[in-house]
Amino acid sequence: MEGSIERASKPDWLKVRMVPGPGLKKVRETLRARNVRTVCDSSRCPNLGDCWGSGTATFMILGGVCTRACRFCAVPCGDPLGVVDLDEPERVALSVADLGLRHAVITSVTRDDLVDGGASLYAATVREIRRSSPTTTIELLIPDMGGEVGALRTVASSRPDVIGHNLEVVSSLQPSIRGQKAGYSRSLQVLGHLKSLAPAIWTKTSLMLGLGETHGEVLQALKDARERGVDLLALGQYLRPKGGSLPVSRYVPPQEFAELRQEALDLGFRRVMAGPLVRSSYHAHDMLSEEDEDRC
């Protein structure tokens, strides 16, 4: 029965107890004082202590209401009515500086209500971080922005170190999970456009597993991404968020993730993170070597 696996105990490899470190309180206080959101805290990510402790955080800009209704996500959906907080880029940058982050990941809800999909706010955030924290590497994880090349050019022109856009799931699952406004072909086009617009900037994508996909479908998605020049890849287990409607089909064992990682490397991806607890921004800084940081 669909979703029945969730009624059983989670396998041991998914049982992670977050141990609060001395720095977590400072991080939360800083974020609260600056009035900025992080995906890490709001989603109660099990990797939170690990990432924050290593100097990485994922900020969510452009508000907390999404114009899409993807079934894997529990973010509220609706119409944000074109409202944009123009001071947000500066507050995010000040938070990055306050915390001394070595790597900052910026993501957002999808904003179909905005002409540029929020591209200008992404670019402004990059500029502000560069101004106050010039040694911090910056990674953007963007929505598809309607596939508009002009919006993607605005993002790429801000010169982040990495630009990511997630395929999320394999092609056959896209219609039932991501909905009509999104699409596998559009996401591939976005990844291809980003690489064409800024060949020197590394591009990244991510897939959630455990939703009924086949091994062959996963490999095809990886091949499709590589054909668009995608450099970096993250593969992780889907876990239903609190309030989410999409059940888990199966728990993918660590060995299977290890095998997929090797297959992805064989296809030509420069860096691959694969494992049950891997998320799009998991150990994001580790995908950039010292040599790559100098290049970016």
User: Which residue matches tokens 């929020």?
Assistant: 118
Instruction: Return per-residue pLDDT of the chain as tens, 296 residues.
Output: 344 587 667 899 988 766 555 566 777 788 888 989 887 554 455 555 555 555 567 899 999 999 998 888 878 899 999 999 999 999 999 999 999 998 999 999 999 999 999 999 999 999 999 999 999 999 999 999 999 999 999 999 999 999 999 999 999 999 999 977 889 999 999 999 999 999 999 999 999 999 999 999 999 999 999 999 999 999 999 998 877 779 999 999 999 999 999 999 999 999 999 999 998 876 677 787 644 444 34
pLDDT at residue number 238: 94
How many other CB atoms are there within 10 angstroms of residue 255's CB atom?
Answer: 9
Residue 218 has φ and ψ, to the nearest 5°, of -65, -45
Taking alpha carbons only, the member of 131, 1, 114, 135 closest to residue 55 is 135
Give the model confidence (pLDDT) of 55-92 as tens digits. 567 899 999 999 998 888 878 899 999 999 999 999 99
Helix pair 88-99, 22-34: axis angle to 10 deg: 160
Cα distance between residue 70 and residue 20, in whole Å: 31
Give the model confidence (pLDDT) of 10-33 as tens digits. 899 988 766 555 566 777 788 888
Sign, CA torsion 172/248/222/59:
positive
Mean per-residue pLDDT of the chain: 88
Query: Residue 132 is encoded by which pair of tokens?
Result: 């106050």
pLDDT at residue number 1: 38
pLDDT at residue number 74: 79
Distances in whole angstroms, Cα of residue 204 to Cα of each of 24, 41, 189, 190, 248: 28, 23, 13, 11, 24
The DSSP 8-state label assigned to residue 168 in this structure reads: B
How many other CB atoms are there within 10 angstroms of residue 40's CB atom?
Answer: 24
Residue 186 has φ and ψ, to the nearest 5°, of -65, -45
Give the three-state DSSP class for 204.
Answer: strand
pTM of whole model > 0.85?
Answer: yes
Taking alpha carbons only, the member of 206, 251, 188 closest to residue 39 is 206
4-295: CATH superfamily: Aldolase class I (3.20.20.70)
Strand order of the sheet with strand 162-164? Answer: 37-38, 56-61, 103-108, 137-141, 162-164, 202-209, 232-237, 271-275
Cα distance between residue 240 and residue 237, in whole Å: 10
pLDDT at residue number 286: 76
